[in-house]
Amino acid sequence: MNFNILAYTIYGLLTCYIILWVGRQFHRNGRIFIVSLFGQDTSLADTTNNLLLMGYYLFNIGYAIIQFSYWNQIQSVDELISSIALKTGRLLFVLVGLHYLNMLGIYLFAKRKNSLTIKH
């Protein structure tokens, strides 16, 4: 019996939930950092935050869809669970990596902005 269709369905639903939930958390909780970077210009900060959210969704949903093409033939329930766990774990590592890269970017941008503000 081939379990690939079941694996695709479970993985698709699981990753969509994870991507949407994490995206909402980043969008809601990261707004304050973006507002502080743009000197309290909330209009520009909100637009930037929305663009970051769109980029986040496009990148991660694209990555999740590409994972379907690398899926091996699944012949047992053990392989089904293992395969879904592996693909979901990779997605989580990508999300964590992107989060830390974004935080590094925000830190460096804020540091640069603060050093330019102090000089003037």
Mind listing the pLDDT tens digit for each residue in 23-51? 999 999 989 888 888 877 899 889 989 99
How many CB atoms neighbour CB 46 within 10 A?
15
Please report the pLDDT score of residue 99 as a whole number. Answer: 84
Residues in the chain: 120
DSSP H or E stretch at residue 1: none
Extract the tokens encoding 10: 């479970």
List, for residues 58-112, the tens digit of each pLDDT value.
999 999 999 888 888 999 999 999 999 999 999 899 889 988 888 888 788 877 7
Q: Are 37 and 112 in contact (CB under 8 A)?
A: no
Q: Counting beta carbons within 10 angstroms of the beta carbon of residue 11, is it exposed (0 to 12), middle (13 to 18) or buried (19 or more)?
A: buried
Output the pTM of the full model: 0.80
